[in-house]
């Protein structure tokens, strides 16, 4: 398994948590401290080094807030 | 008298209908009137009535026809484009003389438009888009309380004349809350409907409710019957309110939501020592043409105010019949005109700037 | 002297304006015979459509109303709410039911409305002078398919009974024909069954009646019956498509399994 | 002046509609003219909610508010949307539990209420709207506290009656904050 | 010029449309206009066009919208109740500015009515039953030949203003045969439609055709755009015919079929030395209000003649504006008024009996 | 660095007004990804419905128009006549397609129209605030069935894919779901297949997409996905109901044999 | 088999010949000499004594012009 | 007078529409104003057909005929329906091949034409309408025989051209009958 890189577009995120629920390595969290201009707490990764670059998060994100790459 | 309660317009319409003994409601969701079907779906069965969510507005109006033909007291409601889809049905209901109350909580158009308030369904209501000669009785309340009263009246007129009655309000009246006093339960006057479809029970010849007349002479005779009815309605059922016609320099003509705004505009003008009056048609059909005969020689101009590009102005011109200059001011597309705009247009017309 | 056949008192004596040999007359009579035999004439309400049978109410001796084109099932829905115990039917042509009134019939079935629809499929718009109907056969000439219905341009005919049978609320769906005395006998039995099911309030009942339109088919009444047999029945197979007690969802589930 | 125009806004679920309705209800009990108008429109998508409330001594023409005497912003998107509608010198009730107290308009009287924090202190996050409502009452005197208590008794009936003390507590807490915040720079009676 | 041919109205309409380069026709059968779809089903493909029999009038008008949005030249047709079903569509077409020509071969109403001729769809045509502020351009020919001309004009106006144009005729004109001269093939003027849906081909940003405006301000701005267009049409596209206005004692106002009958009535009156005149609106919207300014002081009365219970009379009253007494005579429900009836009503009004 | 996922250029960068977690966003993206990958963006015309996705044209980077409620298939019929070679789709909700637009969708299938319909079944009227749809499950609470949908009063939900599959002209009918990344992958494949079939002009293509409406279901987006799996899929089985080459009339004939 | 008796209501008959086509003993004919007020040649029986009273004719008659009895 | 108003009626299939159209066509070729109007309506059910033809020197207002100068009844139901519409002294062309010559109105000029019998004599039952048309031409002189021949040449083209002689024959036969029938009691020129 390669090493994934995930980018979140905070402004597009609506904090729906769907990405959180599908990450096989459970590294996505909603950041309760950040708030975007639409008023949502945006999602982000912790321990990005665990990311396997599976793309699940981006696949289910309804708002096109996630891009995934493999290094 | 019942206690004052704070109610949302749409819910008050529904509750009023139930208290006037409406037993059948058919509807298809459309904003800004969804609280009516929602309320009915919850409350009507408790009053021994039936709610059916129709698959479309076409179906809704035809379900209403069925229930009406069967002798039931029926209400339906929709908003502008949904009512547009009922136009064939309106002509049909009139042609078979099926009583029915319809509420159009209108919005800004044309097309899909916006769900915000609008009064651009005046033509739709008073001239209709169904085929042939027919008329809906059209009532235009200006508050939730008046809506309640007129819904009661609508059921009565509808049964009495065997004709659909349309209540024309807009999203503002439908969505807002105001304190109102509701009628008692079972306030609806009931009349016999020997023409209704009930099954003959073997004791009378079959009843037939029909719209088609193959021969021109038959259809013309039927049309004469309807025409006489319409003439009677014109004679008996005009209703309107006037204010300060005796010494008004300018007379506003407005109905529903807009008439409320006029009252504030009149205060603004009064503060500037300009005397203004108001004609507020309550029945839009039959139209209160005679109200214009009450205008005085002090009047210099008539100003029609509508949340449309000017539709009622046709009827005002017919009523004024050349006696005064008639002009129009309005906003449309979901925007609501302000009292200040009205007042300043009045001043412009009167040449006081 | 025994009576083998007398015109039912369920029909008025009014003479119909149907063309010679038109099966509308047979369909009318069968319905009224069944209602008469079940002693339901006094409890029945019927709805005539827009189509040649627009004046059905002149011929049928029960309370009736007219419908705007295609809307009979919605009207019936309204009537049944006011008189839940009446016997109620719509009588509709293929233009009325399968074209402009598609939404209304599908949703009457969807809600499981407790009335019976008699669907007269004569593969054409009779009243308006012979235009293509959704049930017009491929190759059949009509005034709007003068070279014959083209599958490429117009698709293949709709099989309404099969389609309606996929809807849960349609508890009784059957296709019959009026092409011969024996077919007519069978049809009558099916009509009776449908009314019985209505009385039990089990759901929506739908009977498709293969019929003729000699005038617009440009055939004699006798040849029309033959054409019905040789052309319509092969495409519109007779038989029951749904009856109470059938496994839920006769059609879909099976296919869903694929 | 005897015409109060308030816009109350926040997330769906924060109870903003309820706040507006309670004010209108109380106004009605004081025999005032009242209107309440929800935001209805596609902006409902996305979970924000707001309503407009007018309480007045004379009949109300339009329930639509283009210029508000006061705006309640229970969350940040609402602040962005409705702050511009307050008249100069008008009131802004900001739920600073959910956003920073920065960048507010300078020409407004700002009533900063940490509604959620206070609600949590009272042991129930759900009553943040009542905290804010208390602040609105003291800040605007649109209706009296007594009327609002009467409304509570009408609204919380049956099983819900037991919620009254909690809600009163929340309201009182908010009222106090509002009073303090408005004391120096704002004179209730001419609003 | 092409040869005179004897053609049935409906077929001439269809053939004319083809010659004006109509390429797409969508229709649902309804008498008395069935010859139009029948003709189109047979002939349109020969002219490289496409005929589709729609499942309903609702579908037909929306197919027309699709083809129009895609840049095609489209015609649809129906009769009264079928047109009633298109009212939502009409408002929609206007809101998105989709060009389209519609023919209503009207019949006697209301409801199902009769398939015999009638003019009771005037309100339906000119005021519509769709929602919001919108206008169809409405043209009312009085003969098959004029129908042909106006169909050509309709396509042009429709493209030019991006607005639907309605041709309002009745069953009589649709069903009869008269000698006519047809235009050449490819007589239709074509204009560019850069707004049409064609696929971007990767060379331009996507085109969007939209009716919904979520924000009131946006919708109001769009409505202003439409209003300005309507005002321009009112300024430029009024059309009407007058006869003998200079010295008429009585002026008839009638359109379409009825105007033909008036000509005979005028002869009867002339024989009795009564001078009568005629105003024949050709465009029903925009209405030729200015035509009434051409009336002379010799005129004592205006008589509106309609195959309806009196619908155009509203516009006549607005146009006359109190200057002359206006009255109405008509037959309806499929019956056609005779010249004799018209003449004797005119005499009654003038007090010559 | 390899790209696993980037937002397709088939979508504009416009931020949607959909509620958090609403699957409309996923469905939009999948369609546009497929069109982009097939290099069809420049040839495509789409139709947005009346429903929450009324503004789909803001998000999808192709020529599009709006439809009156329910009428998209009729509009598509008109468009396809003018541009027979374009790639054309309608995108419709369950109120739009299965209720008011029943007639239009059935007859697009009937004629075998050569376009693709993406039918977003979220078992509710999203835009108007959560009223019952024809696909609302029995027992499901909505604003017009506040005690839960009653089979007795409202019937059982319509299974559109099964019904459409009985129509000859519907050559490709399949039901997919968006409840998980793997379902989404599968759905995308099906979308691609449908567009390929459209390119071959074989007939009408219909894809029912089981979707969520967290807002009106009153559930969190995650719980909504779970509800879709546990409640919707059992009643609306996933799978193919019709594909080119299937025996004619998959469903009816068999039953006609009874 | 019993002996049938068939009555035709000439005024209702439209001469469609459907009865003719279904009579098992072929005894029904259209009478070209009779014409009813609607202008149709009406059907009637020849050799009525052959009638078996099967009712086929009445069953298929769309216009209710036939009654059948068994003696 | 120069306005001919004819109603032509019979069963569907007897060619009555064609008769009317040929008259109208011939009228057009004579540069007259003409209208032709088919009966359209539910009365089509039942197989009867009729049309109204007007040929006139001046523009025609309405193509609907309430009073006819002449009626052609190709079958009995048509006779019943249209005989009442003939003006007193007007013409009734009756196809007495199909019904008895009894009970006709006494105030009409009756032209009895056994159209089917004559057509059979000419060896083609199909041309009974041409026989009747011939009678109508001589009885009414609504259009000239020459114009009608020209029409035939326009109508029967291609494969149908070979039908012209037969049709002319039928027309002639009818013309003769009409001439004889009308000779004594009727003066064409003032009709
Ligand atoms: C709204 C509307 N559209 C069209 C018509 C015209 N119309 C009358 S009957 C009919 C269809 C008749 O066909 P069908 O339903 O098959 O009945 P049939 O005459 O064959 O028995 C149509 C299209 C109408 N009356 N109303
Ligand atoms: C003629 C008409 N009727 C009703 C409406 C109101 N309306 C707007 S969207 C909608 C239904 C939305 O439900 P659905 O199609 O399931 O789409 P969703 O929002 O769930 O995606 C309705 C009924 C309308 N705009 N026009
Ligand atoms: S790409 Fe896979 S592993 Fe990495 S964050 Fe997304 S879901 Fe988790
Ligand atoms: S799925 Fe997308 S919108 Fe939802 S929380 Fe994750 S990044 Fe944000
Ligand atoms: S047209 Fe056809 S369906 Fe109608 S009455 Fe005649 S034969 Fe019957
Ligand atoms: S209401 Fe439902 S369908 Fe509409 S955007 Fe919100 S979650 Fe999606
Ligand atoms: S009853 Fe039978 S045997 Fe007798 S005439 Fe009729 S069909 Fe023939
Ligand atoms: S079936 Fe009836 S209508 Fe037909 S010919 Fe026989 S008796 Fe006459
Ligand atoms: Mg039919
Ligand atoms: Mg939905």
Domain boundary among E236, E261, E283: E236
Greatest Cα-to-Cα distance within chain E, rounded to the nearest angstrom: 76
Cβ-based contacts of B256 with chain D (< 8 Å): none
| Among protein residues, the one whose CA lies closest to atom 4 of ligand 7 | G51
pLDDT level of residue G29 (50, 70, 90 thresholds) = very high
Q: Could you give the number of structural domains in chain E?
A: 2
Which residue has a Cα nearest atom 6 of ligand 6?
F19
Residues of A in contact with F26 (CB under 8 A): 60-62
pLDDT at A36: 84
CA-CA-CA-CA torsion sign (C106, C112, C113, C115): positive
G-contacting residues in H 7-26 (Cβ below 8 Å): 11
Taking a C-beta distance cutoff of 8 angstroms, is the pair C43, C87 a contact? Answer: yes
Instruction: Identify any residues that bridge with E78 across adjacent strands, giving them in sequence order.
Output: E104
Find residues 88-147 of chain D whose CB sits inside 8 Å of chain A.
Answer: 98-99
| Phi/psi-derived region of residue D54, left when phi > 0, alpha when psi is between -120 and 50, beta in every other case | beta
Closest CA to B40 of B103, B91, B108: B103
Say how many CA atoms lie within 13 Å of F138 toward its Cβ.
Answer: 17
Is the beta carbon of A43 within 6 A of some atom in ligand 4?
yes
Mean pLDDT for A7-24 is 97
Q: For an interface test with B, which of D38, D60, D62 has the most B Cβ atoms less than 10 Å from its Cβ?
A: D62
Interface test with A, best of F23, F27, F122, F181 (most A CBs within 10 A): F181
Q: Quick one: closest CA in F to D42, which residue?
A: F127
Please provide the size of chain F in residues. Answer: 258
Paired strand residues for H7: H52, H71
Q: Residues E19, E81: one domain? A: yes
Residue B286 preceded by cis peptide, ω within 30: yes
> How do strand B74-78 and strand B24-27 relate by DSSP bridges?
parallel
The domain spans of chain A are 4-70
Chain E touched by C66 (CB under 8 Å): yes
Residues of chain D above pLDDT 70, percent: 92
Report helix, strand or coil for F147: coil
Query: Domain check: are B211 and B264 in the same one?
Result: no
Domain span including residue E107: 4-236
Q: Does B145 touch chain D (CB under 8 A)?
A: no
For the Cβ of G65 lying below 6 angstroms from any atom of ligand 8, the answer is yes
- C152 min Cα distance to partner chain F (Å): 8
For the segment B287-292, the average pLDDT, to the nearest whole number, is 98
Upstream peptide bond of E110 is cis (omega within 30 degrees of 0): yes
pTM for this model (two decimals): 0.97
Say what percent of chain B tops pLDDT 70: 100
Q: Is the Cβ–Cβ distance between E169 and E141 less than 8 Å?
A: yes
- Run of H or E residues at B74: strand B74-78
Residue matched to tokens 């071959």:
F200
Question: Cβ < 6 Å from ligand 6: which residues?
Answer: D 45; F 18-19, 22, 24, 52, 122, 126-127, 213-216
Q: For chain H, how many structural domains are there in total?
A: 1
CATH topology of domain G4-70: Alpha-Beta Plaits (3.30.70)
Q: Which residue is closest to C187 within chain G, CA to CA?
A: G59
Interchain CB contact of B55 with F (< 8 Å): yes
- In order of their start, the domains of chain F are 24-257 (3.40.50.970)
The alpha carbon of C19 and the centre of ligand 5 are apart by a number of angstroms equal to 5
CA-closest candidate to residue B80, choices B40, B37, B115 = B115
E167-204 confidence digits (pLDDT tens): 999 999 999 999 999 999 999 999 999 999 999 999 99
- Beta carbons of H88 and H30 less than 8 angstroms apart: no
Q: Which of D38, D43, D46, D49 to mutate to test the interface with F (most CBs of F within 10 A)?
A: D46
Tell me, in angstroms, the distance from the centre of ligand 3 to residue A13's CA.
16
Q: How far is residue E268's CA from residue E266's CA, in Å, rounded to a whole number?
A: 5
Pair E132, E279 in one domain = no
State the pLDDT confidence band at D42, using cuts at 50, 70 and 90. low
- pLDDT digit string, tens, across residues B172-196: 999 999 999 999 999 999 999 999 9
Beta strands, E only, E79-136: 100-108, 114-117
Strands E164-170 and E177-181: unpaired
ipTM reported for the complex surpasses 0.85? yes
Distance (Å) from CA D16 to ligand 6 centroid: 21
Do B223 and B262 fall within a single domain?
no
pLDDT of residue F255: 38
pLDDT digits (tens, 9 = 90+) for C57-87: 999 999 999 999 999 999 999 999 999 999 9
If asked whether residues B180 and B280 sit together in one domain, one would say no
- Identify the nearest ligand to the CA of C101 by its number: 1
Hey, of E81, E86, E111, E134, which one would you mutate to test binding to chain B, going by the most B CBs within 10 A of its CB?
Answer: E111
Ligand sitting nearest the alpha carbon of B58? 2
**Of the candidates B257, B259, B268, B238, which has an alpha carbon nearest to the alpha carbon of residue B303?**
B259
Residue H168's domain comprises 3-187
- The answer, yes or no, to whether residue B221 has pLDDT greater than 90, is yes
pLDDT score for G6: 97
What is the C-alpha separation between A32 and A11, in angstroms, rounded? 14
Mutation probe of ligand 5 site: the residue of C16, C17, C18 with most atoms within 8 A of C-beta: C18
> Which DSSP letter does residue H161 get?
G
Q: Is residue B287 located within the same domain as residue B191?
A: no
Does residue B185 share a domain with residue B225?
Answer: yes
Residues 27-46 of A with CB under 8 A from D: 35, 37-39
Instruction: Write out the DSSP string of G21-42.
Output: HH-TT--EEE-TT---TTSPPP
Q: Do B6 and D41 touch (CB under 8 A)?
A: no
Q: What does the pLDDT average to over C231-241?
A: 98
Among C209, C212, C231, C232, residue whose Cα is nearest residue C222: C212
- Do both E279 and E230 map to the same domain? no
> What is the spatial distance between Cα B28 and Cα B52, in angstroms, rounded to a whole number?
9
Q: How far apart, in whole angstroms, are the C-alpha atoms of residue F104 and residue F91? A: 13
**So what's the pLDDT on residue C254?**
41
Q: Which residues of chain F have pLDDT under 70?
A: 247-258
- Phi-psi bin for G17: left (phi > 0), alpha (psi -120 to 50), beta? left
pLDDT digits (tens, 9 = 90+) for H60-78: 988 999 899 999 999 988 9
Q: Residues, chain H, total?
A: 191
Contact E139/E168 with Cβ under 8 angstroms?
A: yes
Q: Give the tens place of pLDDT for each residue, F108-137.
A: 999 999 999 999 999 999 999 999 999 999
Q: For F124, which DSSP code?
A: S
Contact G55 CB / ligand 7 (< 6 Å): yes
**C136 CA distance to ligand 5 centroid (A)?**
15
Where b means 16+ CB within 10 Å and e means fewer, G45-67 reads: beeeeebbbbbbbbbbbbbbbbb
Q: What percent of chain F has pLDDT over 70?
A: 95
Find the closest chain C residue to B75 by CA distance.
C78
C184 touches chain G (CB under 8 A): yes
Residue E75 shares a structural domain with residue E32: yes
Taking only the tens place, the pLDDT of each residue in E50-87 is: 999 999 999 999 999 999 999 999 999 999 999 999 99
Tokens found for residue B97: 């003389």
Tell me the nearest-neighbour CA distance from G35 into chain H, angstroms: 8
- Please report all neighbours of E, defined by 3+ CB atom pairs within 8 A: B, C, D, F, H
Shared domain check, B255 and B156: no
Name the DSSP letter for residue B291: G
Q: Ligand 8 test: best mutation among G11, G13, G30, G39, most atoms within 8 Å of CB?
A: G13
CATH number at residue D20: 3.40.920.10
Q: Whose CA is nearest to atom 2 of ligand 8?
A: G61
Q: What is the pLDDT of residue C252?
A: 41
Nearest residue, CB atoms, B38 vs list F134, F144, F154: F144
Pair of tokens at residue H60? 């025609």
pLDDT in tens, B292-302: 999 999 999 99
For H69-111, the pLDDT digits (tens) are 999 999 988 998 999 999 999 999 999 998 887 778 999 999 9
Which of A2-6, B187-191, H49-53 is predicted with the least confidence, judged by mean pLDDT?
Answer: A2-6
Statement to judge: residues B167 and B252 lie in one domain = no
- Mean pLDDT, residues C43-68 taken together: 97
Neighbours of chain D (3+ CB pairs under 8 A): A, B, E, F
E149 shares a domain with E43: yes
Calpha distance F188→B156 (Å, rounded): 58
Q: Ligand 2 test: best mutation among F126, F157, F214, most atoms within 8 Å of CB?
A: F126
List the E177-181 sheet strands across, edge first.
E4-8, E177-181, H33-38, H48-56, H3-11, H68-73, H86-95, H109-113
What is the spatial order of strands in the sheet that C116-121 belongs to? B208-209, C63-66, C44-48, C87-93, C116-121, C204-210, C170-177, C239-242
Q: Please list, in sequence order, all residues whose beta carbon lies within 8 angstroms of the beta carbon of residue B344, skipping any fewer than 6 positions away.
A: none
Residue H187 pLDDT > 60: no
Is the distance from the beta carbon of residue C216 to the nearest atom of ligand 5 less than 6 Å? Answer: yes
pLDDT at residue E214, as a whole number: 84
């Amino acid at each position: 398994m390669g090493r994934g890189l995930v980018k979140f577009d905070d402004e597009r995120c609506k904090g729906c948590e769907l990405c959180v629920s599908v990450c096989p390595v459970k590294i996505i969290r909603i950041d309760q401290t950040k708030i975007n201009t639409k008023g949502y707490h945006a999602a982000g990764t912790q321990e990005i080094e665990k990311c396997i670059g599976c793309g699940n998060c981006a696949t289910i994100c309804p708002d096109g807030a996630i891009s995934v790459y493999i290094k | 008298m019942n206690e004052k309660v704070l109610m949302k317009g749409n819910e008050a319409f529904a509750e009023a209908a139930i208290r006037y003994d409406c037993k059948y409601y058919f509807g298809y969701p459309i904003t800004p009137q969804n609280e009516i079907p929602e309320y009915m779906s919850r409350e009507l069965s408790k009053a021994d009535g039936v709610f059916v969510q129709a698959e479309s507005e076409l179906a809704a109006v035809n379900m209403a026809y069925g229930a009406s033909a069967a002798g039931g007291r029926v209400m339906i409601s929709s908003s502008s484009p949904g009512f547009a889809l009922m136009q064939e049905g309106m002509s049909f209901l009139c042609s078979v003389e099926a009583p029915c109350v319809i509420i159009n909580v209108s919005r800004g158009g044309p097309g899909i438009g916006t769900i915000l308030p609008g009064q651009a369904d005046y033509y739709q209501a008073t001239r209709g888009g169904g085929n042939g000669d027919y008329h809906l009785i059209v009532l235009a309340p200006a508050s939730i309380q008046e809506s309640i009263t007129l819904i009661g009246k609508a059921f009565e007129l509808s049964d009495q004349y065997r004709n659909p009655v349309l209540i024309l309000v807009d999203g503002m009246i439908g969505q807002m809350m105001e304190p109102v006093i509701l009628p008692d339960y079972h306030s609806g006057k009931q009349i016999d409907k020997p023409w209704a479809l009930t099954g003959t029970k073997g004791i009378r010849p079959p009843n037939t409710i029909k719209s088609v007349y193959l021969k021109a002479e038959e259809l013309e005779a039927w049309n004469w019957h309807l025409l006489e009815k319409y003439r009677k309605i014109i004679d008996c059922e005009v209703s309107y309110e006037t204010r300060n016609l005796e010494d008004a320099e300018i007379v506003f003509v407005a109905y529903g939501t807009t008439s409320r705004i006029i009252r504030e505009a009149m205060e603004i003008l009064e503060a500037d020592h300009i005397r203004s009056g108001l004609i507020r048609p309550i029945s839009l059909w039959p139209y209160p043409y005679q109200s214009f005969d009450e205008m005085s020689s002090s009047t210099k101009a008539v100003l029609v105010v509508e949340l449309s590009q000017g539709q009622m102005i046709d009827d005002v011109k017919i009523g004024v019949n050349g006696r005064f200059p008639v002009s129009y001011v309005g906003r449309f597309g979901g925007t609501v005109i302000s009292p200040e705009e009205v007042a300043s247009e009045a001043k412009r017309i009167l040449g006081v700037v | 002297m025994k009576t083998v056949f007398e015109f039912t008192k369920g029909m008025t004596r009014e003479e119909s304006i149907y063309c010679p040999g038109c099966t509308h007359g047979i369909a009318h009579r069968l319905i009224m015979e069944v209602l008469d035999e079940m002693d339901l004439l006094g409890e029945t309400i019927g709805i005539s459509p827009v189509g040649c049978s627009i004046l059905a109410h002149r011929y049928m001796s029960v309370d009736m109303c007219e419908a705007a084109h295609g809307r009979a099932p919605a009207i019936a829905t309204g009537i049944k709410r006011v008189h839940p115990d009446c016997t109620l039917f719509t009588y509709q042509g293929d233009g009325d039911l399968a074209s402009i009134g598609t939404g209304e019939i599908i949703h009457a079935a969807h809600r499981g409305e407790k009335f019976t629809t008699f669907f007269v499929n004569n593969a054409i718009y009779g009243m308006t002078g012979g235009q293509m109907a959704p049930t017009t056969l491929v190759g059949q000439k009509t005034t709007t398919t003068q070279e014959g219905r083209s599958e490429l341009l117009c698709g293949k005919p709709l099989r309404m009974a099969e389609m309606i049978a996929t809807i849960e609320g349609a508890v009784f769906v059957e296709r019959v024909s009026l092409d011969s005395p024996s077919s007519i006998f069978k049809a009558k039995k099916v009509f009776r069954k449908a009314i019985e099911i209505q009385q039990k309030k089990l759901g929506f009942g739908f009977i498709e009646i293969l019929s003729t339109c000699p005038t617009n088919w440009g055939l004699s009444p006798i040849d029309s019956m033959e054409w019905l047999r040789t052309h319509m029945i092969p495409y519109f197979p007779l038989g029951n498509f749904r009856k109470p007690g059938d496994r839920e969802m006769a059609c879909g589930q099976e296919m869903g399994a694929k | 002046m005897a015409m109060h125009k308030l816009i109350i806004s926040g997330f769906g679920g924060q109870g903003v509609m309820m706040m507006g309705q309670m004010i209108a209800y109380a106004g009605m009990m004081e025999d005032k003219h009242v209107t309440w108008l929800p935001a209805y429109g596609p902006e409902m998508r996305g979970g924000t909610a707001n309503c407009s409330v007018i309480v007045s001594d004379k009949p109300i023409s339009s329930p639509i508010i283009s210029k508000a005497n006061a705006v309640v912003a229970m969350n940040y998107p609402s602040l962005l949307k409705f702050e511009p509608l307050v008249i100069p010198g008008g009131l802004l009730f900001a739920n600073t539990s959910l956003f920073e107290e920065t960048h507010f308009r300078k020409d407004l009287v700002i009533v900063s209420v940490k509604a959620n924090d206070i609600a949590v202190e009272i042991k129930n996050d759900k009553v943040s709207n009542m905290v804010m409502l208390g602040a609105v009452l003291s800040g605007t005197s649109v209706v009296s506290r007594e009327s609002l208590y009467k409304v509570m008794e009408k609204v919380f009936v049956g099983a819900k009656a037991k919620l009254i003390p909690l809600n009163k507590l929340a309201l009182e807490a908010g009222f106090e904050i509002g009073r303090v915040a408005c004391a120096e720079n704002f004179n209730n009676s001419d609003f």
